[in-house]
Amino acid sequence: MPWVQIGLALAVLSAIAWIVFLVGQRARVVERNRRALADEAEAARLRDRREERIPGGNPRHPIEVASAAVVEPRASSLPCPRCASPAHVDTHEVETHEGRRLRVVNMKCGTCSHRRPLYFFVRSSEIRRDANELN
């Protein structure tokens, strides 16, 4: 008779141990996924910061060009910073940043579809504005 009770106790103990093992395994998977997502977000943040430091990646340090006509060819000549494939001009707008008129070219990579803005400063636009202010 005690053998039956010992057997039942062992069965219950092994079932509890199995449940504890499964819960622990699930918790490890959840933790690993959470860490992978955090690492991915950190890598994306570092990539964005690196792209901002590339000339033209930030309105504070635009690429200087002599004429607006060379903005799009110049932008198209720059490869995608993520995969080094050719990128093409998506939109081309004029914006004012800190009192300076900048050309903002939104680029889209043909391979990885990464989008990023490129900022250009047209030297002739500044000269024209100075001439207008004098008149």
Return the number of the residue (14 or 85) whose C-beta is nearest Zn ion: 85
- CA dist 98 and 100 (Å) reads 6
- Write out 95-133 in H/E/C secondary structure: EEECCEEEEEEEEEECCCCCEEEEEEEEHHHHHHHHHHH
> Contact between 114 and Zn ion (CB under 5 A)?
yes
Among 61, 82, 100, 108, binds Zn ion (CB under 5 A): 82
> Contact between 107 and Zn ion (CB under 5 A)?
no
Query: Which region, judged by CB under 5 A, interacts with Zn ion, from 5-13, 29-37, 74-82, 116-124?
Result: 74-82
> Contact between 61 and Zn ion (CB under 5 A)?
no
Number of residues that bind Zn ion (CB under 5 A): 8
Return the number of the residue (82 or 97) whose C-beta is nearest Zn ion: 82
Return the number of the residue (104 or 107) whose C-beta is nearest Zn ion: 107
- CA dist 21 and 9 (Å) reads 18
8 A C-beta contact, residue 116 and residue 81: yes
What is the phi/psi pair of residue 55, to 5°?
-50, 130
Binding site for Zn ion (CB under 5 A): 80, 82-83, 85, 109, 111-112, 114
